[in-house]
Copies of this chain bind each other. A is one copy, B any other.
């Protein structure tokens, strides 16, 4: 195996500057889209169709699909789900196809859709994601969804955790500048990620909405071994 690069992009808006369709792109939206998507696959969902707008999601819903829609951290009225991971658990989603639109995460998926592989990363599947990346001999782009195209702390923290793990294998990976920065950030933050995120803007936003349990859930490692991957416009279970 040769040395692959690891780089990070802090906003879907900035992605065109980094875009290389030979890369594996890891989509990151810790609070809460990518965490919720991983939960859904752990609980047996068959397929998730990410769409950019609420209108598109509504069209699918009218055709009889289960559909989730979140804007500004709250569920949109008239849909089956928002993006709380707790709503993607249970028998009612087993074997189903769900249509999903969120403020940030589905925008990032859309930005990167032409990459070699687009996979979904969260703390809840971090070891599975790292193991997959180590097996692939291919450049890695960690694409943080951020908040309305701005940098956010929790996505950077996760990207830093992945970078830290990949950097243990210098024979496989060479870190680019943004990844090097994330590694330093993670090393400083890792002793107490809850404390690190204490002042994070989106954490404050969710806490105000009474979603502290969601935050706690989304910061747990390895609740699933599933890796959702984009295939023909829909997220399905990665087999490799």
Interface residues, chain A, CB within 8 Å of chain B?
8, 10-11, 13-14, 16-18, 147-153, 156, 175-178, 180-181, 184-185, 187-189, 196, 199-202
Contacts and interface: CB of A to CB of B under 8 A. Distances in A.
29 contacts: A10-B10, A10-B151, A10-B178, A11-B14, A11-B17, A14-B14, A14-B149, A17-B149, A17-B150, A147-B177, A150-B177, A151-B177, A151-B178, A151-B181, A152-B177, A153-B180, A153-B181, A156-B177, A156-B181, A175-B199, A176-B201, A177-B200, A177-B201, A180-B199, A180-B200, A184-B184, A184-B196, A185-B185, A188-B188
Contacts of A200: 177, 180
Given A11-B14, A180-B200, 8 more contacts: A10-B178, A11-B17, A14-B149, A152-B177, A153-B180, A153-B181, A177-B201, A180-B199
Main secondary structure of the interface of A (DSSP, over half): helix
A13 B188 CA distance: 28
Contact of A184 (B10, B16, B150, B185): B185
Contact of A181 (B16, B18, B185): B185
Contacts of A17: 11, 13, 148-150
A18 B187 CA distance: 27
A111 to B, nearest CB: 13
Please name the 7 residue pairs, one residue from A and one from B, whose CB atoms are nearest each other, closest first: A151-B178, A188-B188, A17-B149, A184-B188, A153-B177, A14-B14, A152-B177
Contacts of A188: 184-185, 187-188
A105 to B, nearest CB: 17
A29 B155 CA distance: 25
Nearest to A183: B188
Contacts of A176: 201
A132 B17 CA distance: 33
